[in-house]
Chain A
Amino acid sequence: MLDPKYASSFLLVVVLIYLLFVQLKQPPSWTDAEIETIQSLGISQLGEPPSDPTNAVANDSRAAKLGHKLFFDERMSITGTIACANCHQPENQFRDSLTRGVAIGQTDRRTPSIIGGAYSPWQYWDGRKDSQWSQALAPLEHPMEHGGNRMFYVRYVTARYKDEYEAIFGPAPDLSDRERFPEHAAPVGRTDWNSTWQAMSTEDQNLVNQLFVNIGKTIAAYERLLVPGPGRFDEYVASIRFDEQQTIFDHNEVVGLRLFIGKANCTQCHNGPLLTNNEFHNTGVANFPGEIPDKGRVQGIRDVTDDPFNCVSQYSDARYSCAELRFARTGSELIGTVRTPSLRSLHPPFMHKGQHATLREVLDHYNDAPLAMIGHNEAKPLNLTQLEITQLERFLATLNAPLRTDSNWLKAP
């Protein structure tokens, strides 16, 4: 037994050790302002996706069911081998693991996750589309993606999915007259398809466009259902809200979170429950050597303004509701900017061309904040230690979580 003479000094040593190694490792508790910021990032703040009045069938479950089928249907391509899901893979956060997306050929940028996309006013890295339905039309006609033409798709869908289509949109027009409706036709893509399109009457062109748009609207109705669910971070948010014993995060994760919302400035752009402001920023991510820098949003805003399927077009179901497009900013500040990605579906590689293979590389990049090739890098050097970078990395890992979407939607129908 311990001599009572030494017991008090032994106790003192124990207390000292506790203070030095255990107590000190517990960071001071959060301030009210920090708690407010942390709560603003929690998934419970997310709510339902904002309504899309430009898509009359956005919340129609029959449209979502048809869109689900089309999203996974490889016959929705000129080769009969490419579905949206080939690149937007459910098992990989609805994206792929490549630096740049590959289907019929290689595309110019990295495939983004489409989870939570319904919350964004803009689609694509450069925001060249202003709705999910309008976006869905582009890959179908892109020569490196599905490689087809609208005439081909509207004929296929109204035949193969006739009942489903008609239940949503009413009787599908008769497209059997090959004089009026050739086998292949589109105003974009191959020149022979262009000429057959030009030979069609304006009325027939509009009719085909409308059917094509309807296809996009069903795919969008499906995509709206893909919403992230709560993860360990959100459990932590709930626990500090109710001031419970904080056992959900370990020390490094807590410090990582503190860096994320504080010294590392991450919430300047990665804010709100999806950890994105969906705005366009230049963070000085260099291209692969020998490649010309990506102009980003400066080009995207031109494209979406001129897009025949944008919010103010005749194919929009609510042309009056286009505040984002009508009041979109332009100008040199947008040079080399891309849309902030959500951090709720992290999967390597990272950045708009997959330039960074690991989260560590991403964080080293933010720590250095190099000069941008074009435009200027909005992020400033951070001077974080290697330990702090590890702690940030540990925090980012707590954002991973399964979708809140019913699992039937997450596989081929």
Chain B
Amino acid sequence: MVMSALAESDAFQVTYSSAINPIAINKMHEWILDIKTSDGTPVTDAEVVINGGMPAHNHGLPTSPKVTQNLGQGKYRVEGVRFHMSGYWEMRVTVKANGIEDTVVISLEL
């Protein structure tokens, strides 16, 4: 499991880094998201909504993680991340900035 990885949509690139490495199940922890436009410019005033779940099991996240702090330079603190099963997870990060809304899907194998 990598601690930090990049995922992209048409409009945005999101790099996440987890406070615990490797990500263990049943542990509450934080992430930092680094959000850039597709040309690499930091997105400093994004509205961020986080969803996710296990597609194979057809269920969502066991918590509702939220951005709690804009750290500047395109970095955002996310609190309340916890996974409760091993397997394939998706975190869907919806970014709204500069009049554009797009969702970046982060894949995780826990």
Closest chain B CB from A292 CB (angstroms)? 25
- The answer to whether A324 and B28 have CB atoms under 8 Å apart is yes
- The answer to whether A279 and B62 have CB atoms under 8 Å apart is yes
Closest chain B CB from A379 CB (angstroms)? 10
Determine which of B60, B65, B84, B86 lies in contact with A333 in the assembled complex, contact meaning CB atoms within 8 Å: B60
Determine which of B59, B79, B85 lies in contact with A323 in the assembled complex, contact meaning CB atoms within 8 Å: B79
- The answer to whether A37 and B86 have CB atoms under 8 Å apart is yes
- The answer to whether A327 and B26 have CB atoms under 8 Å apart is no
Q: What residues on B are CB-neighbors of A331 within 8 Å?
A: 60
Closest chain A CB from B14 CB (angstroms)? 19
Q: What residues on A are CB-neighbors of B66 within 8 Å?
A: 327
Name which residue of chain B comes closest to A340, CB basis. Answer: B84
Q: Does A330 belong to the interface (CB within 8 Å)? A: yes
Q: How many residue pairs at the A-B interface have CB separations less than 8 Å?
A: 53
Query: Which A residues from 315 to 338 make CB contacts under 8 A with B?
Result: 323-324, 326-331, 333
| A interface majority secondary structure | loop
Q: Does A204 belong to the interface (CB within 8 Å)? A: no
Q: What residues on B are CB-neighbors of A279 within 8 Å?
A: 62, 84
- The answer to whether A329 and B64 have CB atoms under 8 Å apart is yes
- The answer to whether B86 and A269 have CB atoms under 8 Å apart is no
- The answer to whether A271 and B86 have CB atoms under 8 Å apart is yes
| B interface majority secondary structure | loop
Q: Given known contacts A278-B26, A333-B59, is B64 in contact with A327 (CB within 8 Å)? A: yes
Q: What residues on B are CB-neighbors of A271 within 8 Å?
A: 25-26, 84-86
- The answer to whether A323 and B80 have CB atoms under 8 Å apart is yes
Quick one: which of B25, B62, B87 has the most chain A CB within 10 A? B62
Question: What 0/1 readout, one digit per residue, does chain B (38-77) give for beta carbons within 8 Å of chain A?
Answer: 0000000000000000000101111111100000000000
Q: What residues on A are CB-neighbors of B86 within 8 Å?
A: 37, 267, 271
Determine which of B25, B63, B87 lies in contact with A327 in the assembled complex, contact meaning CB atoms within 8 Å: B63
Closest chain A CB from B23 CB (angstroms)? 13
Closest chain A CB from B66 CB (angstroms)? 7
- The answer to whether A378 and B57 have CB atoms under 8 Å apart is yes
Name which residue of chain A comes closest to B60, CB basis. Answer: A333
In angstroms, Cα B64 to Cα A407, docked, is 41
Q: What residues on A are CB-neighbors of B63 within 8 Å?
A: 324, 327-329
Determine which of B25, B26, B61 lies in contact with A329 in the assembled complex, contact meaning CB atoms within 8 Å: B61
Determine which of B65, B79, B82, B85 lies in contact with A268 in the assembled complex, contact meaning CB atoms within 8 Å: B85
Closest chain B CB from A329 CB (angstroms)? 5
In angstroms, Cα B25 to Cα A279, docked, is 11
Q: What residues on A are CB-neighbors of B87 within 8 Å?
A: 268
Q: What residues on B are CB-neighbors of A378 within 8 Å?
A: 57, 59
- The answer to whether A272 and B28 have CB atoms under 8 Å apart is no
- The answer to whether A329 and B62 have CB atoms under 8 Å apart is yes
Name which residue of chain A comes closest to B62, CB basis. Answer: A279
Q: What residues on A are CB-neighbors of B65 within 8 Å?
A: 327
Name which residue of chain B comes closest to A331, CB basis. Answer: B60
Q: What residues on B are CB-neighbors of A329 within 8 Å?
A: 60-64
Question: What 0/1 readout, one digit per residue, does chain A (114-155) give for beta carbons within 8 Å of chain B?
Answer: 000000010000000000000000000000000000000000
Q: What residues on B are CB-neighbors of A59 within 8 Å?
A: none
In angstroms, Cα B63 to Cα A279, docked, is 10
Closest chain A CB from B19 CB (angstroms)? 12
In angstroms, Cα B66 to Cα A323, docked, is 11
Q: What residues on A are CB-neighbors of B79 within 8 Å?
A: 323, 326-327
Quick one: which of A277, A324, A330 has the most chain B CB within 10 A? A277
Quick one: which of B60, B65, B84 has the most chain A CB within 10 A? B84
Closest chain B CB from A195 CB (angstroms)? 40
Closest chain A CB from B100 CB (angstroms)? 27
A–B complex contacts, Cβ < 8 Å, 19 sampled: A37-B86, A268-B57, A268-B87, A271-B25, A271-B26, A271-B84, A277-B84, A278-B26, A279-B84, A323-B28, A323-B79, A324-B28, A326-B80, A329-B61, A329-B62, A329-B63, A329-B64, A330-B64, A333-B60
Which A residues contact B (CB, under 8 angstroms)? 37, 121, 267-269, 271-272, 277-280, 323-324, 326-331, 333, 378
Given A278-B26, A333-B59, 17 additional A-B pairs, CB 8 A = A37-B86, A267-B86, A268-B87, A269-B84, A269-B85, A271-B25, A271-B26, A277-B25, A277-B85, A324-B28, A326-B79, A327-B63, A327-B79, A329-B63, A331-B60, A378-B57, A378-B59
